[in-house]
Amino acid sequence: MNLLWIYRGMEMIRVLLVLLVLGSVEGRRARGQRTQTPESFPLDFTAVEGNMESFMTQVKNLAQSLYPCSTQKLDQEMKLQFLRNSSVTCNDGSPAGYYIKESRGSRRWLMFLEGGWYCFSKHTCDSRYETMRRLMSSSKWPPTRTGTGILSSQPEENPHWWNANTVFVPYCSSDVWSGSTAKTDQNDYAFMGSQIIQEVIKELVTKGLDGAKVLLLAGSSAGGTGVLLNVDRVSELLEDLGLGSVQVRGLADSGWFLDHKQYRLTDCIDTISCAPTEAIKRGVRYWNSVVPERCSHVYNGEDWNCFFGYKVQPTLKRPVFVVQWLFDEAQLMVDNVHLTGQPVQEGQWRYIQNLGSELRNTLKNVPAMFAPACLSHEIITRSYWMDIHVKGTSLPRALQCWDRSLRHHGNSSSIQAPLRGCPLHLIDSCPWPHCNPTCPTIREQLTGQEMSVIQFLTHLGFDVQRMAQQQGMEPHKLLGMLSNGT
């Protein structure tokens, strides 16, 4: 296959796409609207969002007609690379590493931190090693991975980051990406999450990161919290390497946990039942955690505070976009609210509603965020991530707006005023789980059948008459609100 011809073919397609965008912009100018001159990359697919599938089919057909070699499938997989520094390891001492798919010519890099809870004692780590070994060892990692959601290389699934250099860092340190303890004869396990990130960055510099314009450090769940803990440190490392011109940003998905009182207090005997505050306090000592310096100073060395988003985010220097379900399944689980089996009690309903209110309050001063009123966990690597909307805006669109707002601010966390029709602060106001009609599909656990929002709430014991009375409205009006997501 002649790669030069493929490259030229893709360049022609790129030019056609840019002309399409320019045409859309000129059309808006003709209607008297203010616009900005678009850049050729990243491509803006907003003009065809309503008919993306048909549009991309035409583009692919055009590519195949222009160059016969383009009909051959290009490699879309990320390939495994173990770290050259063998002293930085997974929990069991096996080598840490990362998956990478390079995009020649692109100056945008996306580095994703995987999630997967944590362990905070020998007992909880022994149990984790027996049941979740893939999150503590690299011994059975596959040689390749295919990205989905924001890691996808397909424009129809990932309209704004499809052409980036993509790096997936598997989670095998069980320390919320914070640890700095090696495995020794005295330590049964290594906890080196923060050092794994540092070593990956150093290796990526030799693979083209030294020429990058933007590095987006993203992560989900424990990886999302890991973004908050490491985004400033990654930027500082690049500055130390003489690469201060690289704009480092964070994208924290489902890692914005609360340290509030559990619904039902239990002893701290395992990862799930232990209150987050107590688990993290124990973990920080066990992992020898590294947290952002400014956050540690604000909390007088009580570093466990820095694992909770609303506490650490105001201390960060680099911009971070926060994605958080208002009714996060992981948060409810550690709060001992279980939404399976018996219908929930009235006290649990109040607790669930209060959770949504508490999260809204902690997010109100976050400059860029996306918070749907859904019961779920993680989103940015899900294939349906484009389908979720808040106030009519999808998550990819919100991220593109954020990207534009930061374009001229380097590594500063400040952003310019939102562009017209380009919102950055998106949060649902409806008060119940899944009151947003674009929430992910709910399925009945036993039958697998899809459930409507009303069926789901009724299944959990939702009393329409009582809740309508509490809200001071007629039951039929409440049902209409639930059906429409208002």
Extended beta strands in 84-137, E state: 97-101, 108-113
DSSP label at 11?
H
Task: Please report how many Cα atoms fall inside a 13 Å half-sphere around the Cα of residue 191, on the Cβ side.
Answer: 24
Residues 20/48, Cβ–Cβ less than 8 Å: yes
Strand partners, 101: 166
Told to judge if 296 belongs to the known catalytic residues of this protein, a careful annotator would answer no
Please report, as a single letter, which amino acid is at residue 9: G
Which residue is catalytic, options 138, 178, 194, 221?
A: 221
Distance, in Å, from the CA atom of 165 to the CA atom of 151, rounded to the nearest integer, reads: 9
Phi, psi angles (nearest 5°) of residue 369: -160, 165
- Residue count of the chain: 486
* Whole-angstrom distance, CA of residue 223 vs CA of residue 290: 15
Identify whether 87 is a catalytic site residue: no
387 is catalytic: no
Catalytic residue among 377, 394, 413, 434: 377
Q: Rounded to 5 degrees, what are φ and ψ at 109?
A: -125, 135
**Amino acid identity, position 370:** F
Q: How far is C-alpha 219 from the chain's CA centre?
A: 5
Q: Point out the catalytic residue in the list 44, 175, 328, 335.
A: 328
Q: Which residues contact 261 (CB under 8 A, 6 or more apart)?
A: none
Among 346, 350, 347, 352, which Cα is nearest to 333's?
352
- Tell the residue number behind the tokens 């590095």, with chain if given: 215
Catalytic residue numbers? Answer: 221, 328, 377
